[in-house]
Amino acid sequence: MKSGGMLPELRKELQLVIQKINSFLKRTSWLDVAIFSTGIILALFLRYSLRTFESGDYSYYFKAWYKTIQVDGFKSLGENFSNYPPLYLSLLYIVSLILPKVAPWTAIKLPSIVCDLICAWYVYRIVRLKYGNGVAATVSSLIVLFAPTAVLNGAAWGQIDSIYTAALLACIYYLLEEKNWLACIAFGLAFAIKLQSVYLAPFLLALWIKKRISFKYLLAIPAVYLVSILPAWIAGRPLFELITLYFAQVGDYEGLVHNATSVYTWLPRADYNTWYIPGIIYAVGICVIYVVLILKSRVKSLNPYIVSLALASLLIVPFFLPKTHDRYFYPADVLSIVFGFYYPEFFFVPVIVNLVSFFIYQPFLFGVDIFPQSVLTLAMFLAILIVVWRMVVQLYPKNAASE
């Protein structure tokens, strides 16, 4: 386990990024650079072409939020006009300062589009850890940029899932590199953007209990969140309200499932008031089983299996947890692509996961049900079973030498 202060780790990481970029440019042919650059440019043009698309969420929420930020400026951060976390609203405030004349339907999408690129960058780095420099890392990053939900979620819908997903990917990458300070800082950023980042929490809990991560590193997570709410607090929003924001958010949107591939799709007549608390307990029970499977494993190192363990967590939690929305599998959509490169024999897993998410987006964005939701849920469940089976095989190999 590597240790060290937070600031030295950050400084080393910035230096390493610069060194890797210089090294990449030196040993990469102009043809490879041209192909990669063309892919990036096309991905950006694709997103630019969707800039005027207005989703229902934009019409009902984002438009009014951005107008408030434009009119009230920094003072708006102290107002309770949105149920989204302060860090995201701060990002919109920065956009309004830098690009004041950009149309609101475009401006609210810019943070997500930037984080699409960051997602691709960390996918590139994670895949390169397995294959080194070469076509695999480059292709994986381009696939992420052109994955259907990656394009629709931010550039069309205007949602923020790529922002916290970029931070989760960074967390996974730094865990693979055993840079635990940076991993926990990245998870703290993800948590400061969206509560659904906790879908990775069972995995981090298992690493902590296994003593793969020290408790002092985990303290970076609340520390980052506290720093993220400082602008809103300075602007006048009550500190207690900022600290308890997610507790209040949990009470929003009654309903066991919201157009998502969740186990509750198969219980369409289940009463919310009757089944919500049992559903929470059931989901916690499934997560306990997941954690116990990791804890009881005798493999010498979990590092070779981090991608599959993390993907299992990102799939299991939203599938069994009540109140799952259609977008909540976005981190799994992206990480499943990495999983497909790490385990090419399971190439069909990212295909299933991403297509299911793509089809589940259709009713809200376009008012079309291409496949029954129950069928899509079954497909997602099969993908989960495959990933969990792969995880169990890795944690409990037949070869006794690994124990």
pLDDT digits (tens, 9 = 90+) for 186-200: 999 999 999 999 999
> 258: which strand partners?
325
343 DSSP 8-state letter = S
For range 249-260, the mean pLDDT = 85
Residue 27 has what pLDDT? 61
Q: Domain for residue 281, yes or no? A: yes
Q: Domain for residue 365, yes or no? A: yes
Going through 313-357 in order, the beta strands assigned E by DSSP cover 324-325
Read off φ and ψ for residue 257, nearest 5 degrees.
-150, 145
CA 395-401-403 angle, to 5 degrees, is: 45
Q: Domain for residue 264, yes or no? A: yes
Total domain count for the chain?
Answer: 1
Read off φ and ψ for residue 145, nearest 5 degrees.
-65, -30
Residue 54 has what pLDDT? 93
Residue 14 has what pLDDT? 74
Interatomic CA distance for residues 239 and 241, integer angstroms: 5
Find all residues with CB under 8 Å of 70, minimum gap 6, and list them: 96, 100, 104
Q: Are 380 and 319 contacting, i.e. CB atoms less than 8 angstroms apart? A: yes
Q: Taking the chain, what is the end-to-end CA distance rounded to the nearest angstrom?
A: 19
Q: Domain for residue 35, yes or no? A: yes
Place of tokens 């980052």: 224
Residue 402 has what pLDDT? 46
Interatomic CA distance for residues 193 and 9, integer angstroms: 22
Range of the domain at 38: 6-49+109-218+253-397
Is the confidence at residue 111, as pLDDT, over 50?
yes
Is the confidence at residue 403, as pLDDT, over 60?
no
Q: Domain for residue 87, yes or no? A: no
397 DSSP 8-state letter = -
Q: Are 88 and 111 contacting, i.e. CB atoms less than 8 angstroms apart? A: yes
Find all residues with CB under 8 Å of 217, minimum gap 6, and list them: 180, 181, 183, 184
Q: Domain for residue 56, yes or no? A: no
Q: Domain for residue 260, yes or no? A: yes
Tokens in use for 149?
């939900």
Interatomic CA distance for residues 46 and 58, integer angstroms: 19
Q: Are 236 and 75 contacting, i.e. CB atoms less than 8 angstroms apart? A: yes
Q: Are 186 and 168 contacting, i.e. CB atoms less than 8 angstroms apart? A: yes
75 DSSP 8-state letter = G
Is the confidence at residue 401, as pLDDT, over 70?
no
Residue 24 has what pLDDT? 61
Half-sphere exposure of 171 (CA within 13 A, CB side): 31
Q: Domain for residue 168, yes or no? A: yes
Find the helix packing angle between 272-295 and 201-209, rounded to 10°.
Answer: 40
Q: Are 202 and 317 contacting, i.e. CB atoms less than 8 angstroms apart? A: yes
Going through 238-295 in order, the beta strands assigned E by DSSP cover 257-258
Give the tens place of pLDDT for each residue, 338-356. 999 999 999 999 999 999 9
